[in-house]
Structure 1
């Protein structure tokens, strides 16, 4: 009976750890931030990369914005604050 190739234990452990880390990072990216308890509004266009609060037309979940100030990415802010922030918009950009 032919012998199966032996994989060094360290390589197998490292590969398993890498796989677990990848799965964990993917799972942690799938978040939806709960609505705040205070009166809020969604503020578009002022989000730092990876800090958006929820899905948008170009993102599936919170924490998935790829770059700063993406027009369709939003965060919760207290009501009345968004228009005071440079670049803040109360609605997403129009499609087209």
Structure 2
């Protein structure tokens, strides 16, 4: 095996491992709404107020979410996406 082939196969192996590790980590997490402090949300608001992480303006906004370890959201008094959507329909 020449050096170029060895380097290419090593790089491909490392990238595959990184992808698998990232997918496994994501599978162990869930979105938890209503627990993020201002500026500490993980992504877009459910209400469409903004579309990026770190842009929430108030603490514990029910439209903002963070990734948490699977099964811990309720312990933090957080909500699921379905609960948030159900609450939005009532208003």
Same-fold call, TM cutoff 0.5? yes
TM-score by length of 2: 0.59
Aligned-residue CA RMSD (Å): 2.2
Of Structure 1 and Structure 2, the greater helix share is in 2
Q: 1:66 aligned to 57, 60, 73, which one?
A: 57
The gaps in structure 1 that reach 5 residues or longer are: 1-33
Q: Which structure has the larger Rg? A: 1
Q: Give the TM-score normalised by structure 1.
A: 0.56
Q: What is the rounded CA distance, in whole Å, between the counterparts of 1:49 and 1:35 in structure 2?
A: 28
Deviation, structure 1 residue 59: 2.1
User: After TM superposition, what 4+ stretches of structure 1 lie above 4 angstroms from structure 2?
Assistant: none
Equivalent of 1:75, from 66, 72, 76?
A: 66
Aligned length: 62
